[in-house]
Structure 1
Amino acid sequence: MVLKTANGGPEGPSRRGFLSSAAALAGLAVTAPRAFARASDRVEGLLAQMTIEEKAGQLSCFADMIRPPVGDMNPLVNLRNAQTLTAEIQAGRIGVLMNGVGAQAALDTQKAAVEGSRLKIPLLFAADVIHGFRTVFPIPLAEAASFDPHLAERTARAAASEASASGLHWTFAPMVDVARDQRWGRVAEGSGEDPYLGEVMAAARVRGFQGKDLKADDSMLATPKHFAAYGAVAAGLEYNSVELSEATLREVHLPPFQAAFAAGAMTVMSAFNDVNGVPSTANKRLLTDVLRGEWGFKGVVISDYTSDQELVAHGFAADDRDAARLAILAGVDISMQSGLYIRYLPELVASGAVPMAVVDASVRRVLALKEAIGLFDNPYRSLNPAAERARTATPALRALSREAGARSIVLLKNDRGLLPLPKAGKRLALIGPFADDRDNVLGAWGGFFADKSLNVDLATGLRAQMADPASLIVERGSDIEAPIAGGIERAVAVAQAADVVLLAIGESETMTGEAKSRTDIRIPPAQQRLAEAIAATGKPVVVLLRHGRALALEGPVRDAPAILATWFLGSEMGHAVADVLFGGVNPSGRLPVSFPLDSGQEPFFYNGRTTGRPAPADPNAQEYKSRWRSIRNEALYPFGFGLGYTTFAVSDLRLSTQRLAWDETLHVTARVRNTGPIYGEHVLQLYIRDRVASRTRPVRELKGFQRVSLAPGSEREVRFELRRENLMFVGDGDRWVAEAGVFDLWIANSATDGLAVSFELLAAE
């Protein structure tokens, strides 16, 4: 099938929504880029000349200590100083350097490879450019809330342009793991709990990073990660084990990878976790049988940071030598940072433990990758100091960061139309640890390369739009996880003197991201006590949540008259939030993750199964049902939910037929009308449920969405299409099947509402 963005791609919005399915992707052989269709004479000629040490070098990636990274992303393991690195580059013993930046230093380093080494093979320069570079965009989870793949493509394109100007060819992004447990810190890096949304955003980001020409100076290779099922770690605990069925693996966790490959991704990263007892970095069934065999992937597999060496700690490899053997035989082409391939591949080949043909296949893929992006013809592409100066932190990049930030905000509650606020005539109290904080606006991975002088805090953003900036009074009230002496008393006094309180609370950057799992996803107690004191003043409160996951809200935070999910929005966070608060932007974001009623519900996701004893509609009706003792098993705010400053009505849901033939297409139409007072955007979502199947099915599954922009009083017809492929699931024998029967269908505003209709899929004749 043909993949396209939900809103029609870069050319502009489409009147017809895009529908996809894991089943359709499962039947899609990954089209090999031309570079991988057949190894070129140049690649074969180099391979014939290489020693086993040079081959092992091409399969090795190390931290770039010639232009060392700022900050600590991972444990410092096997670091080589600049002098040692340069010597090994000249000896042909390194193929990739990572997380160093700076065009001039990269230019000098590349000269050491192409002018100082025997075979003159250029280096690949890689980095973790996750959601921006010097200019930072919203965390991927926040951007997923835009439900706008075109926006994701634009921000990835901008990040690639800025990062490639600083001497980079390759990014270890996008993260496409489906995350159903909000305790996991890396929820922030992905697109949330739904595989379909994950597919669409993965494909968009790959297109954005890579652009239209891989050899272009501003193109960056994209790397979907982490293969596979990293988002399913037990208890949401980082690096933990994964135990799941083949059906769940194929229906939920693999489709975003397939969408990324279909969009042109030529590399992929193996995961830290095991899957059903087999670590991903030594999982031949996943990396070779499925990835290369079933899907026809021809590109490069790189390990995560020392994940090959960690096979020993897993108890899967006897020692480092055994770990290198298992990883290369499973299908890992490049070893990241451990140095195991450099150290052990020559001896493993000499002893016969690893066939030379296996090593050659990996080297051939790595050389073909370098050829595909033009490094052999132009080894100094993307290494221009003048371009670095011209393409960094430009006004256009900052404007895009601000736009993306505003479009990522989700309005969760707005009782009595408290928002938007007027820019004049009201005294505002901005209270909370994030009121004028500039250190927690970027989110996980955002600050690694960022120019933090660009960071805009909330107070600055608000004052920039207020008629009288002095009418905004700022008081922190508490620290993020600890009280401040006298802080609550001062905050209460400020609140009492104000007309409206803006309460800026939530998580810090150090509470989300890698290695930041939480057992309790509530607001930290010190901030909760602050919220209680402010609520007691009786002043109207607008909660501005800072967060990298769904949160379990309670007490006065949950009960505040207005709540905005503002995530970590990047460099322009303060301006983006002010745009929404004062009505310059009508919020249109929708939740990519469900906000639970309580932390104890996790893992929680909208598309679970009904069980044999589903919870009754009346919470007091029956015992012995699938329910918690104290709360209903439902969301406080469900997946897909979001409000705006205008209202929309959906009507006239129609199907082209109620009896869908096996090979025909179902056309779905509905009308949406802006019934409110101002222009706005609405996200229409299409869900289905297979009523009776040979395996129990989710209560709902997202199969499409469409953004609709309407002026007050205007309306539009929206159209979707469904085919049999969109109705398939993994059945007996772990094969994709479609079964005749009745399906429910909703055109909805979230995963728990909507207009409903049903149709029947007829059996094949």
Structure 2
Amino acid sequence: MAKQHMQELLQQMTLEEKAAQLLQLATPFYEGAESGGEITGPMESLGVTPQMVSDSGSVLGLAGAEEVIRVQEAHMAKNRLGIPLLTMADIVHGFKTIFPVPLAIGCSWDLALAERSAEIAAREAAVSGVHVTFAPMADLVRDPRWGRVMESTGEDPYLNSEFARAFVRGFQGKDLAEDRTRVAACVKHFAAYGLAEGGRDYNTVDLSERQLREFYLKGYKAALDEGCEMVMTAFNTVDGIPASANQKLMRDLLRKEWGFDGVLISDWGAVKELIPHGVAEDEREAALKAILAGVDIEMMTSTYVHHLPELVKTGLVEESMIDEAVLRILQLKEKLGLFENPIRGADPAAEQEIIFCEEHREAARELAVKSAVLLKNNGVLPLNPGQTVALIGPFAENSDILGPWSWTGSRQDAVRLDQAMQRRWSDGRLIVEGCGVESITEEQMLSAEQAAARADVIVLALGEDSEMSGEAGCRADIRLPAAQLELVSRLGRLGKPMAAVLFNGRPLDLHGIFEEADAILEAWFPGSEGGEALASILAGERNPSGRLAMSFPYSVGQVPVYYNHFNTGRPKDAPDAQVRYVSQYLDVPNEPLLPFGYGLSYTTFSYSTPVLEQDIMTGDEPLRLSVTVTNTGANAGEETVQLYVRDLSGDVVRPVKELKDYAKITLQPGESREVTFTLNEPQLRYYHADLSHRSDPGRFVVSVGPNSRDTADLPFQLS
């Protein structure tokens, strides 16, 4: 019935109204918005008329119940057919309650907490009037120079896929029409945006179709299999064609092969950017190529409204193609219940009650604890409550801990590290000395040295400010700023025990810190409750359990460096390898400083020799591997037991190791637990040279351990 109603509505629309329904504009274009009518600068160049705004289909960046209600009511009054607006926004890792950045969430390896974070973000966004979030980002990333690595969940296709599913479940729930506390999810950036050359945003991507399918498409497909309602195109090229004009990618793969019938939206300005890309001569051709590729919504450029009607009238575009796009948009609005109730979940009274409530903050605190990764510890952590602690560095009393894509959050509400530590080290036992992120005066340096001299232990709060990562936050040098490295060096000369807490949005080159600090806790951008979460870890109230979702390079010169790489014909570790003529660097190791899956704890774990029930797998008979893990330390702790596989001989070269499963277990001191994994034949399938997806009989190795490097290996056969 609903679809028939949408068809009837579509038949009443003029061609110009249909084209406008495909237009997405930012908040200032709309009457009722706080900045409504103030169209200046680049927005003026869009050349949209008031009628186009009245006929437009969606608004970008609008949030806040009262404002959404005003804008929607004003829009409905002017729209001839009473078609409501879709409100869309970047709700990436929280709305008002900000969770750790997605890369940090990936390091929790905790799918339930990830889903809960998305559910809370959706709840706060929905009550504020948001209908669609531009998340999750399922881009596979192997280059930490790329600023948007903070928005990914790392370098592994399997882990990425599992988190993509969890985020979609959290955002959307089971029924968007019935559950007004959820929002539609939009997976991005389709496709392979994480492979931008040089780690530089908006840059070229070039890879084989086999590589695309084997590694880079899996996260998006997982999100869509979970029911994700929308897809966003990437800024980059794929096989020489920008994604927003890529018919093979969008029409053939996404629509026909995968059967996706939801809404496809461009990224900001991406349709018009087909011109500087060099595949469109002008806006008219850009509109033509984007609509032929299947892009339904054009975000923040106006080529569709200006040129689609004429392209239809001249026969270059079938009107049915426009109808398909409009119908998908109308159906999403119907699914969200907007025709029945245009303001949907927007509720100013509930907004005050729900947003940033204690329940949500507690969840953010828990995820910040679980996302932190202990990278090094020579016995300095946890701190002793009786010690005098010098908390020094740019993040000692800095509230810039929310990270990029937290535009609706409040730094003023963020719990700083010094505030949380002060509650635990009172009576003058906490000395705080702050400084700049990129510059430290000599006076600040001297004050830091004096504070450190008076303390029993130094805690360095170091890192990047939020502008150093995120979109357009790419860096060729991924070390900490030179001023911070100088601070570490000078304090290191005092010979005091020293721990570093790192606030950042990417894996870093840790030289200058790793050698000097006795302990390093990777906090990432931990969100609204970051200070409290980290202080509880430093004090030993909580035991760190995070594991790296992305390798930390030994040097930026290795990048990209990732665990599931291919071998070469001359591997460095071959038994008969010659000293020089192997694949290696002369000045640094091949391996990363810290591998995928790595992380320490305040306790220790031992693994028994793993046991296979049988060493032959068939299509009907899976393989079962068991290993006993024992907590050999003095504290309760959580261990992430990881299972990897290597295919020793394939139709094409196979990775040296691939994550296939993992289990998180909590053990008391002295407690042991047997962990059993079941490995099936479908988990051994891969894309062959002819792009068929199947497994091959032959020899394999299954590995189990606490990270991708330190594993015990067992051979088996697939027959």
> What range describes the TM-score normalised by the shorter chain of this pair?
over 0.9
TM-aligned CA distance change 1:562 to 1:654, over 3 Å: same
2:505 is aligned with 1:548:
yes
Q: How far, CA to CA, are the matches of 2:44 and 2:136 in structure 1?
A: 26
Equivalence for 1:131: 93
Q: How far, CA to CA, are the matches of 2:515 and 2:100 in structure 1?
A: 24
Q: How far, CA to CA, are the matches of 1:618 and 1:152 in structure 2?
A: 43
2:526 is aligned with 1:569:
yes
Shift of 1:557: 3.8
Amino acid in structure 1 at the alignment position of 2:503: R
Q: How far, CA to CA, are the matches of 1:133 and 1:80 in structure 2?
A: 31
The match for 1:471 among 404, 411, 429 is 429
Cα-to-partner distance string for 1:11-44 (whole Å, 9 max, x where unaligned): xxxxxxxxxxxxxxxxxxxxxxxxxxx9711011
Q: How far, CA to CA, are the matches of 2:244 and 2:361 in structure 1?
A: 38
2:256 is aligned with 1:293:
yes
2:397 is aligned with 1:436:
yes
Equivalence for 1:176: 138
Amino acid in structure 2 at the alignment position of 1:738: S
Equivalence for 1:9: none
Partner-residue secondary structure (3-state), 1:635:
coil
Shift of 1:344: 1.2
8 A Cα contact 1:543 1:557, kept in partner: no
8 A Cα contact 1:646 1:674, kept in partner: yes
Q: How far, CA to CA, are the matches of 1:383 and 1:39 in structure 2?
A: 23
Q: How far, CA to CA, are the matches of 2:666 and 2:324 in structure 1?
A: 50
Percent of aligned pairs with the same amino acid: 44
Shift of 1:469: 4.9
The match for 2:153 among 191, 194, 200 is 191
Stretch deviating more after TM superposition (614-623 or 190-199): 614-623
Q: How far, CA to CA, are the matches of 2:642 and 2:356 in structure 1?
A: 36
Q: What stretches of structure 2 of length at least 5 have no aligned partner? A: none
2:14 is aligned with 1:51:
yes
8 A Cα contact 2:492 2:516, kept in partner: no
Amino acid in structure 2 at the alignment position of 1:275: V
Stretch deviating more after TM superposition (237-246 or 99-108): 99-108
Shift of 1:69: 8.7
Equivalence for 2:60: 98
2:149 is aligned with 1:206:
no
TM-aligned CA distance change 1:183 to 1:113, over 3 Å: same
8 A Cα contact 1:135 1:454, kept in partner: no
Q: How far, CA to CA, are the matches of 1:80 and 1:406 in structure 2?
A: 46
Q: How far, CA to CA, are the matches of 1:618 and 1:487 in structure 2?
A: 53
8 A Cα contact 1:687 1:702, kept in partner: yes
Shift of 1:115: 3.9
Cα-to-partner distance string for 1:306-362 (whole Å, 9 max, x where unaligned): 100100010011101110110011010100010221111111111111110110111
8 A Cα contact 2:489 2:516, kept in partner: no
The match for 2:582 among 625, 630, 652 is 625
Amino acid in structure 2 at the alignment position of 1:457: R
Amino acid in structure 1 at the alignment position of 2:579: Q
Equivalence for 1:693: 650
Partner-residue secondary structure (3-state), 2:608:
strand
8 A Cα contact 1:619 1:632, kept in partner: no
8 A Cα contact 2:383 2:538, kept in partner: yes
User: 1:58-97 to 2 correspondence within 5 Å?
Assistant: 58-65=21-28, 66=30, 77-78=42-43, 88-90=52-54, 93-97=55-59
8 A Cα contact 1:528 1:557, kept in partner: no
Stretch deviating more after TM superposition (615-624 or 273-282): 615-624
2:465 is aligned with 1:521:
no
User: 1:215-614 to 2 correspondence within 5 Å?
Assistant: 215=177, 216-415=179-378, 417-423=379-385, 425-438=386-399, 440-446=400-406, 448-466=407-425, 468-476=426-434, 478-614=435-571
Shift of 1:523: 1.3
Q: How far, CA to CA, are the matches of 2:474 and 2:557 in structure 1?
A: 14
Amino acid in structure 2 at the alignment position of 1:429: A
Q: How far, CA to CA, are the matches of 1:76 and 1:460 in structure 2?
A: 41
Q: How far, CA to CA, are the matches of 1:172 and 1:337 in structure 2?
A: 15
- Could you tell me the TM-score, scaled by structure 2's length? 0.96
Shift of 1:364: 0.9
Partner-residue secondary structure (3-state), 2:188:
coil
Q: How far, CA to CA, are the matches of 1:138 and 1:79 in structure 2?
A: 36
TM-aligned CA distance change 1:86 to 1:673, over 3 Å: farther
Partner-residue secondary structure (3-state), 1:223:
strand
Q: How far, CA to CA, are the matches of 1:108 and 1:87 in structure 2?
A: 18
8 A Cα contact 1:174 1:225, kept in partner: yes
Q: How far, CA to CA, are the matches of 1:660 and 1:328 in structure 2?
A: 48
Shift of 1:117: 2.1
Shift of 1:493: 1.3
Equivalence for 1:20: none
Stretch deviating more after TM superposition (535-544 or 608-617): 608-617
Shift of 1:736: 1.4
Amino acid in structure 1 at the alignment position of 2:429: S
Q: How far, CA to CA, are the matches of 2:130 and 2:49 in structure 1?
A: 18
Q: How far, CA to CA, are the matches of 2:477 and 2:91 in structure 1?
A: 29
Q: How far, CA to CA, are the matches of 2:114 and 2:297 in structure 1?
A: 28
Q: How far, CA to CA, are the matches of 2:346 and 2:116 in structure 1?
A: 23
TM-aligned CA distance change 1:722 to 1:519, over 3 Å: same
Cα-to-partner distance string for 1:280-325 (whole Å, 9 max, x where unaligned): 0001111110011111111110000010010001001110111011
Equivalence for 1:31: none
Q: How far, CA to CA, are the matches of 1:638 and 1:652 in structure 2?
A: 22
The match for 2:691 among 724, 727, 734 is 734
Q: How far, CA to CA, are the matches of 2:73 and 2:467 in structure 1?
A: 38
Partner-residue secondary structure (3-state), 2:168:
helix
Shift of 1:755: 1.8
Shift of 1:112: 2.7
2:111 is aligned with 1:152:
no
Stretch deviating more after TM superposition (587-596 or 709-718): 709-718
Q: How far, CA to CA, are the matches of 1:170 and 1:329 in structure 2?
A: 24
Equivalence for 1:4: none
Q: How far, CA to CA, are the matches of 1:445 and 1:716 in structure 2?
A: 40
Shift of 1:464: 1.8
Partner-residue secondary structure (3-state), 2:550:
coil
TM-aligned CA distance change 1:615 to 1:548, over 3 Å: same
Shift of 1:664: 2.7
Q: How far, CA to CA, are the matches of 1:102 and 1:543 in structure 2?
A: 38
Equivalence for 1:118: 80
